[in-house]
Structure 1
Amino acid sequence: MNMTLFPDVVVNGETIPSAAVAAEAQNHTAPKDKPGIAWRKAAQALTIRALLLQEAQARGLDPDPEELAPGRVETEDEALIRALLDEAVNIAPVTDDAVHCEWAKNPERYRSAPLWDVSHILCACDPRDDEERTAAEARAAALLARLHGDAKDFAAAARESDCGSKASAGHLGQLGPNDTVPEFEAALRTLPEGGMTPAPVLSRHGWHIIRLNAIAPGQVLPYDTVRPKIAQALEKAAWARASREFVETLAKSAQITGASLAPI
């Protein structure tokens, strides 16, 4: 990215160098042919950070870093921003009526996790090795061409799998969400009961041919079971709205050049 095309960001007289924006841009997604989007997202994020830190300092807040996880402690800036938002952002408690109203919009949304009865054939490879990946894909495609979708054919072909499940005809048993790698689960979710992936699926382990033997859909959960989860979601959404409004208030009275807080 050519930094000369993008100016420094200045927030109430505080300069955020273009080099800092360029470094932050690595944390933001954008189409490959539109690097300016990542730049604008980065400039916006650093502008908001500067506004919050300036307000925290103006209020005389002191940082008190907290441990976020084992070995991960807040920076002083993170602690200052947290302290500011704790002080400045207030939301009304979520009422029982609000929770029940949200649930009543569509109780079917709140279900237990489904269970999938799954079999697969693995042609193992290191996906980072081009030659190995190509050879394994060709092998998987050849195996797939021999199958007709029925369980008997699948079980026979599974004897050639590189997974230990080949001893049980490729059967992996019952799986739930997050029990497999994301690529495998994403493909699994597209299959009808008794269906098989039309092409091999690549994961970190290699190429998979996946068969969904059966599915047990999740059951609709009782209101009392899901009420705490709904209340937490409503509270989180309200806090996010209030935080955005607080930042917008700071921005309205600020002098900002080189960045915009308009939605990207």
Structure 2
Amino acid sequence: MNPKLSATRLALASVALALWLPAQAQNVAIVNGKPVPKARVDTLLQQATRGGQQPVTPELEARAREEVVLREIFTQEAERRGIAQGAAYKAQMELARQTILIRELFADWQKNHPVTEAEARAEYDKFKAQASGTEYRARHILVAAEDEAKKLIAQIKGGASFDELAKKHSTDTGSAANGGDLDFAKPDAYVAEFGQALARLQKGQMTDAPVKTQFGWHIIRLEDTRDAQFPAFDDVRPQIEQQIGQVKMQQYQQSLRDKAKTDFKFGQ
């Protein structure tokens, strides 16, 4: 054998191998002679972890690799049978195309229009101003009949324990176990009759007469008052930003709808 020819063939084989290895690194597998690119795995993982809902783990990546290979196997069979030429397939593909485009449009808009700290703080300050005022810590006993409520008031005035009577007689199971304790809340958090009666009480004072609401007859005692509490900005910032982002997105969508020229009448 010609030594020069052997060296040439060896060099060509080395070049071919060098070109083949990077190509193989970009593919997950070969299915019936057709390569399955690794980019499909990356795209599937991006979809699965969109928004940071779950991290990319070796197990998740392994499932993604299996998924793209299975998809290629099934897709090749569908194409072999001519399904891609059917009207139903084409109609669904158009809907899928629109869905992907719309999703990416909104994702791109959100990326370029993030909620600023100033916007979040302004909304926080508005909520905080609305929540300002006085909170009242009340206990109550709820019963079905006015006469029963009057008897319990008499017993309490005679020295009976409000807490024990609440545990024994109150039909409000949520607070009865805690001696009728309702914790701190603003009067407007309750039905009007209850809130108004509560706001007229002094600390330690109990209603002299039962208070009727849609739920029955209440005996109310005011335990304490305090300035309304509100969480720190950093504690609620994610929720505020999410809410503002949703509003801004709705406004963006509405602006596109308003600018569009169409004879369609929405809401009909």
Q: Give TM-score, length-normalised by structure 1.
A: 0.40
Answer 1 or 2: which has greater helix percent: 2
Q: Which has the larger radius of gyration?
A: 2
Q: Which has the higher contact order (CA 8 A, sep 6+)?
A: 1
